[in-house]
Chains A and B, each alone.
Chain A
Amino acid sequence: MMDRRQTEEKIFKGLMYLSLAIVVGSLFAVFAIVIIKGIFALNIAMVTQTPHGGYYLGKEGGILNAIIGSIYLSVGAIILALIISIPTAWYLQKFSRTSKYAAAIRMVLDIASGIPSLLYGAFIFLIMIMFQARASLLWGIITVGLFIAPLLTRAIDEVMQTVPVKLKEASYSLGATRWETIFRVVTRQAFPGLITAVLVAFGRGIGDAASVLFTAGYTDSIPTSINDPVATLPLAIFFQLGSPFPQVQERAYASVIILLVIVLIICIGSRYLSKKYARYSIK
């Protein structure tokens, strides 16, 4: 009797180890295959030059246009998203934890964050047709900004909710109003988490291809104005992969390494920065 129970325990524990191995292993496999395939196509021209004539036929050049384009687009999008997210998170702080009204707002935000980025792209594309506008950096920023705003809002909101009530009470007892407390105490205390939230949202923005497919356009040059079309790294990868030339496909693999390095920097950066600023929070 005892034996059977112990055996069952052992079997399931074994299955758990196997599952974790699959999860960790798949991350490892993703990195390994991309690095093995792309590392030899990676060269300095990839990150310092824009595509020259015939680049997509295997001639000289790089994808600087897409790297810069992605950074412009994501920085613009994160600024737009912050303009929406920070006030919304502050507004939600006004209500008590059990407020039904605040719960309803959070629910709308959760639904909005669950909508696939492709649909934000389709929606903005329809708006663009209404205004007879052409795909550009501006519309790309609007699309990505709208799509990461709900994610960012909820992340900031969650961080602000973890600020201890006692801290707020201390602030009230010193004569601060509710808004003074939210702006100066809650926001400052939540700052390390806020940085993480911003960087995670930035990562989502920079890696997304489906939303900018129809709204940002594509170009081989670096945009000089907000009305120019803009290339993005994920789309550059996608288009290079579609090429029948092996040299161009290899460059797609190399571009993926560049994208992964950017994602890794964001990931490590957010951990580092939030730890750094956590020192200034009250424990």
Chain B
Amino acid sequence: MIQESRDRVISSVLFIPTLFSGIVLIAMIVVLFQKSGKILTQLPLTELLFSSSWEPIAGNFGFLPFIMGTIWVTALAMLTAIPISLLSAIYLSEYAHVKVREIIQPVIDLLAGIPSVVYGLFGILLVVPFIKNYIAPAVGVLTSGYCVLAGGIVLAIMVFPILISLSFEVLRTVPDEMREASLGLGATRWETIKYVVLKRAFPGIIAAIILGFSRAFGETMAVLMVVGNVAKVPNSVFDPAYPIPALIANNYGEMMSIPLYDSALMFAALILLVIVVAFNIAAKYVFLKLSVMT
């Protein structure tokens, strides 16, 4: 009896910090929603999302340049990172010797551990001048180098680690018997990967990509440092862009001095939060289905 009640006491004491994490998440959504309420009641949602006129002093809050900026940079980063990361993960999982894996693993961990300002500086010192002096002249464009392409490249490097380690784990969940059966039927290694391993791992890889996407969406400092920050909808990868996280980070200081500005920035934060949470739920859902399957 004493044992049982002590058990229950411990359970409830430990439940309090557990509950805390959930409360923070809910509080964040509620507070951001409440703060963006002011602008949502004054301006129609369609204007906020689809107008490209951003003049806070005149009361025009069109988020299209920022939404498009985020989409351009993130999409470019993912288009670059997905094939490179997948091929790397396939190599590590299907071909590499254990020793090679042991060398590559710390490299990927280290890539994941490097602070984002360092990637930003790398972008400024290497990627931006390279685009300005070599890539842009080669295609006949004039640019400062601070553009969508620079943001995309830096961001792609930043999502390598998460994409590689998640897809590697997914590939390892494919049972070896399936590989052996395919090889036994005379398929080459690549055919086995293409027709058996990837087919089986497909949902998990999609989930990994969704998680990579959501990480890329919210990345702030590194992108802000190389992307140019001009509030116009970009027309090409050589145009500057102004992604949502950069908008929030750059304008926090003066948001109290212009009416509605604070509410507009909180609305931007809310958009970001909703997208990231939705992506995470989607990825988790796929992973859960997968774990039921295996």
Contact = CB atoms under 8 A, between A and B. Distances in A.
Interface of A: 5-6, 8-9, 12-13, 15-20, 22-24, 26-27, 29-30, 33-34, 37, 83-85, 87-88, 90-92, 94, 103, 105, 107-112, 114-120, 122-123, 125-127, 146, 149-150, 153, 177-179, 200, 203-204, 206-210, 213-214, 234, 237-238, 241, 252-253, 256, 259-260, 263-264, 266-267, 271
Most buried by A among B17, B85, B279: B17
B225 A259 contact: no
Given A19-B84, A23-B107, A84 B122 contact: no
Interface string B245-256: 100110010000
B288 A234 contact: no
Contacts of B47: none
Contacts, number: 232
B117 A234 contact: yes
B60 interface: no
Interface string B11-33: 10111111011101101100110
A143 to B, nearest CB: 11
Interface in B100-125: 104, 106-111, 113-122, 124-125
A30 B88 contact: no
Interface string B270-287: 001100110111001000
A266 B122 contact: no
A125 to B, nearest CB: 7
- Nearest first, the 6 closest Cβ-Cβ pairs linking A and B are A116-B218, A207-B115, A16-B91, A19-B87, A91-B14, A210-B220
Contacts of A210: 116, 220-221, 245, 249
Given A112-B24, A116-B217, A208 B284 contact: no
B87 A16 contact: yes
A34 B24 contact: no
14 contacts: A8-B188, A84-B17, A87-B14, A108-B21, A111-B284, A114-B279, A126-B266, A150-B21, A208-B115, A210-B220, A237-B117, A238-B225, A241-B124, A253-B121
Contact of A22 (B35, B84, B269, B272): B84
B78 interface: no
Interface secondary structure of A, over-half rule? helix
A65 B215 CA distance: 31
B121 A256 contact: yes
Given A234-B221, A238-B117, A118 B249 contact: yes
B126 interface: yes
A30 B245 contact: no
Contacts of B188: 5-6, 8-9
B249 A213 contact: yes
Nearest to A109: B21
B122 A29 contact: yes
A91 B15 contact: yes
A184 to B, nearest CB: 13
Contacts of B106: 267, 271
A111 B25 contact: yes
Most buried by A among B11, B115, B249, B279: B115
Given A122-B248, A123-B28, A213-B252, A9 B190 contact: yes
B160 interface: yes
Given A19-B91, A126-B32, A178-B7, 14 more contacts: A8-B190, A26-B160, A34-B118, A87-B17, A115-B273, A117-B220, A122-B252, A177-B7, A208-B116, A210-B245, A234-B117, A237-B117, A238-B117, A266-B113
B231 interface: no
B264 interface: no
